[in-house]
Amino acid sequence: MVKKPIVTADEAVKLIKEGDAVMVGGFLGCGSPTGLIAALEKRGTGKLTLICNDCAMYNPKTGDMNGVAPLVAKKRFSVAVVSHIGTNPEIQRQMNEGETDVRLVPQGTLAERIRAAGAGLGGVLTPTGLGTEVQDGKKVVEVDGVKFLLEKALKGDVALIRAKKADKSGNCVYDKSGRNFNPLMAMACDTVIVEADEIVEIGELDPEVVVTPSVFVTHIVQGRK
């Protein structure tokens, strides 16, 4: 297997250009690549499109935040494609004030749209959202007398994901629920940067437990201790 570049978080986020669509793994911060998020915040790249399950958690009274919340607070995203924003009052404010284009997508639909992009599909058919605002502007397809919404595949430019372990070729395994959206996003972007808690030699990972094969990974970053 070919070894993938092992770079620092600061070097990795230089691959993200202004205006890119960035997928970030995690569920309320669980499974989010915190080192890469911190490096991207420091670099200051803006006008990004965020594709993530949520906007993580932010407490304006204490300043405590996790996941992508620091980037949201700095208004680095012009568009946010997420399944919910209920735990981050700052993105709610930005949406209500028209500062950020927030596009809410049902969670299962979001996962399937990302999966479709990784599988090379044009989209998926789902009944979720029929007869609601979710349907606005979308094509309705009837199959065997049942109506579905056509939800187009959702592709990104760069994926920032987190793994429990990665070998030096980029094979990845995850830590329980920290897996969440990470494997799907690794398949749906041209550039995939994995922040691994531990980097091991090629051959040390049991092939039976590898979730994301090395073919999807372009760069590896050692996670922060």
Banded model confidence at residue 97, pLDDT cuts 50, 70, 90: very high
**Average pLDDT of the chain?**
97
In this prediction, residue 1 carries a pLDDT of 76
- Would you place residue 225 in the very low, low, confident or very high pLDDT band (cuts 50, 70, 90)? low
Q: What is the pLDDT of residues 1-28, one digit of tens each?
A: 799 999 999 999 999 999 999 999 999 9
Mean pLDDT of 81-108: 97
How many angstroms separate the CA atoms of 50 and 72, rounded? 9
What does the domain layout of the chain look like in residue ranges?
6-120+155-222
Q: Taking residues 166-192, report their average pLDDT.
A: 98
Taking the CA atoms of residue 181, residue 192, residue 39 and residue 172 in that order, the dihedral angle to the nearest 10 degrees is 60
Residue 149, class by beta-carbon neighbours within 10 Å (0-12 exposed, 13-18 middle, 19+ buried)?
Answer: buried
In the prediction, which pLDDT does 24 show?
Answer: 98
CB count, 10 Å around CB of 64? Answer: 10
125-165: pLDDT as tens digits: 999 999 999 999 999 999 999 999 999 999 999 999 999 99
Instruction: Report the pLDDT averaged over residues 62-67.
Output: 96
**Buried (b) or exposed (e) across 32-53, using 16+ Cβ within 10 A?**
bbbbbbbbbbeeebeebbbbbb
Reply yes or no on domain 6-120+155-222 having CATH 3.40.1080.10.
yes
* Amino acid residing at 221: V
- Reported pTM: 0.96
Q: What pLDDT, on the 0 to 100 scale, is given for residue 224?
A: 78
Average pLDDT over residues 88-104: 98
Q: What is the pLDDT of residues 184-216, one digit of tens each?
A: 999 999 999 999 999 999 999 999 999 999 999
Give the residues across from 173 on adjacent strands.
165
